[in-house]
Amino acid sequence: MYTTYNPLIMIETSAIRIEKTTQSRINELDENNIPFGRLYSDHMFLADYKDGQWQDLRIVPYQNISLSPANSALHYGITIFEGLKAYRNKDGEVVVFRPEANAKRLNISAERMCIPAVPEGLFMEALNELLKIDASWVPSAPGTALYVRPFVFGMDEYIGIRPSENFRFMIITGPVGSYYTKPVRVKIETKFSRAFEGGTGFAKAGGNYAASLYPARLAQKMGFDQLIWTDGKTHQYIEESGTMNVMFMIDDVLITAPTSGTILKGITRDSVLTIAREWGVKVEERPVAVAEVVAAAKEGRLKEAFGVGTAATIAPIATIGYEDEVYDLPAADDSFFSRKILKQLSGIRSGEIADKHGWIYKI
């Protein structure tokens, strides 16, 4: 028995309805060759928001869904999502890293997009039950995980600009390997913008990512893997990358842009900064000027740069492109902060390092 509820009132309801697949596809999983975002587990969770409350909670076999051609999410981008990972620890147990933080952030996005809140109890119960059923899909090979994608989208059949009244909350999962298989090459973007103050940049809204694809494609044609976005007004300050927050180690100071109305409040970002401060590393959350980063790279004071995010975890940056110049960074070794922090996070997830923050949720 668990609770679900409308945005304001908790209501007692029956357990999640479960329909298990009659034929598992687990034989498709090769832990030594897992493409990112291509393979999905046997089951998925669904709930529908109608008449002011979340209802019809169910776990069913992974399958296509039916939508009206007039679906509001298709036409107006009324959709938000989260991303988190489940791992197998040293004892073979399935654990999830900071899922409560994802539940909270989903609702921050929901408020901005006129979507009803998904109660944290519902989020956690759905996650727990789904991962119990598909526990065999959680890989154990080094560098692998089960990626978890919760998302909510409008379900109204209405061609007109207004908030949707009906919604669907879903969770799908799939085994993944490394998002980046080698240090990344990034380009500082100074023409196109990802977000503006007062917009939706802080939310994990689908439209934010759709708008970033064209500039990213241009950068990829130039040999870069990702963009580093700058502020939409002046393009003078670093914001974040397309798939992660960005950090710089300049003169032994760990520097990153503060989260704001245009920068996603990354959960991995928060974890890294928390540990860095505990280690006695000098941390500065402040506006980071492009000119400062470029000057540090020219002068050899930019010791390392890396991205932090759920998909990539820690992604060392090998090259930074700016205007017509390219700056190569030192190759990472075990003395680098990014290597040490990755080892620390991996140890916490595996249970080899004590989880003193309560970040690990056991299924």
- Residue spans of the domains in the chain: they are 2-176, 184-350
One fold for 2-176 and 184-350: no
Whether the pLDDT of residue 14 is over 70: the answer is: no
∠54-109-7 over CA atoms, to 5°? 30
Q: Give me the residues paired with residue 147 across strands.
A: 85, 174
* Fold of the domain built from segment(s) 184-350: D-amino Acid Aminotransferase; Chain A, domain 2 (3.20.10)
Residue 120 is given by DSSP the state: H
β-bridge pairing 145-154 and 237-241: unpaired
pTM surpassing 0.85?
yes
Residue 21 dihedral angles phi and psi, to the nearest 5°: -65, 150
Structure tokens at 114: 């006129």
Other beta carbons within 10 Å of 127:
23
Q: Residue 301's pLDDT is what?
A: 96
Cβ contacts of 290 within 8 Å, gap of 6 or more: 188, 190, 230, 235, 236, 237, 238, 322
Q: Residue 260's pLDDT is what?
A: 87
pLDDT tens per residue across span 298-335: 999 999 999 999 988 899 999 999 999 999 999 888 89
Whether the pLDDT of residue 2 is over 70: the answer is: no
CA distances for 194 relative to 240, 242, 269, angstroms: 9, 9, 19
β-bridge pairing 184-188 and 313-322: parallel
Rounded-to-integer distance, Cα 137 and Cα 133, Å: 9
**Residue 181 contacts residue 193 (beta carbons within 8 Å):** no
Q: Residue 95's pLDDT is what?
A: 98
Structure tokens at 95: 């654990």
pLDDT tens per residue across span 42-67: 999 999 999 999 999 999 999 999 99
Options 3.30.470.10, 3.10.520.10, 3.40.50.960, 3.40.50.150; CATH of 2-176:
3.30.470.10
Q: Residue 37's pLDDT is what?
A: 85
